[in-house]
Amino acid sequence: MNANQLSTRLERVADYLKGFQTIADIGSDHAYLPCYLALNNKMVKAIAGEVNDGPYQSAQAQVVKSGLSEQVQVRKGNGLAVIGDQDQIEAVAVAGMGGPLIASILEDGKEKLNGIKRLVLQPNIAAHTIRIWLVKNGFTLVDEIMIKEDDKIYEILVAEPVVHPPTYTAADVLLGPILRDKQGSAFKEKWEREVHSWEQVLNQLQKGKASKEKEIKHQELMQKISLVKGVLS
């Protein structure tokens, strides 16, 4: 993977950012995503944000190597703090992190999201935590996709601000309101794996001494298994 040839996962993220001219990529790592967008559209101005020294330096080197210093700025900072009031960012990408971390990045920097037209979020795990945050903070999902790459399954959530956020059911939050309607092969594979894993945990819980904590965990797992099986059927 490089600035000219993204992974399938990042290429899908990039697809949802096309058409926007001011973009911030938070946790940009090697800055492949903003460089790719800038190489394919000379009008693009992008921020590559990184909090750690190593990735920050790698991103700087990639921007220079790609000849994109006029289009892509690499900034060191925590989350959305790299976005300045003068930047007028239209779209924000946060990819390759856990769902709870992405949600906390959005929460900690939500004052930076005023005027944002789109969020493109790719959690590695626990996408439901992002859906909860979006609804609470005035965003609605306009698309969701699930892809399989190198035997890993990824979700990509695309959200835009809305005056009246939707009301999501428990199934919407866990599985995705759009994904559960699409139900592609990756979706079915992911949730069949999850159900199998939960059922194994249930078997383990039945062993040993009973406790209130075990009973609560048992009920939670049973509810999720029932919910997923109901959607898959």
The Cα 153–Cα 173 span in angstroms is 18
User: Does residue 156 contact residue 16 with C-beta atoms inside 8 Å?
Assistant: yes
Closest alpha carbon to 156 in 31, 5, 17: 17
Q: Residue 201: what pLDDT?
A: 94
Kindly indicate the confidence band of residue 37, based on its pLDDT and cuts at 50, 70 and 90. very high
Residue 166 near residue 140 (C-beta atoms within 8 A)? yes
In the three-class reduction of DSSP (H, G, I as helix; E, B as strand; rest coil), residue 27 is classed as coil
Q: What is the pLDDT of residue 207?
A: 84
Say whether pLDDT at 2 is over 90: no
Query: What residues contact 175, with CB distance under 8 A and at least 6 apart?
Result: 187, 191, 227, 228, 231
pLDDT tens, residue by residue, 118-174:
999 999 999 999 999 999 999 999 999 999 999 999 999 999 999 999 999 999 999
Is 65 in contact with 34 (CB distance < 8 Å)?
no
| Residue 146 backbone phi and psi in degrees, to 5 | -130, 130
pLDDT value of position 208: 74
Q: Which of 179, 82, 188, 190 is nearest to 131 (CA)?
A: 179
Tokens at residue 212, please? Answer: 């209130």
Which residues fall within 8 angstroms of residue 202, CB to CB, at 6 or more apart? 218, 221, 222, 225
As its CATH architecture, domain 8-172 has 3-Layer(aba) Sandwich (3.40)
Residue 206 pLDDT > 90: no
Query: Are 198 and 221 spatial neighbours (Cβ–Cβ below 8 Å)?
Result: yes
Sequence ranges of the domains in the chain = 8-172, 188-232
Helix (H, G, I), strand (E, B) or coil at 74: strand
Evaluate if residue 59 carries a pLDDT over 80.
yes
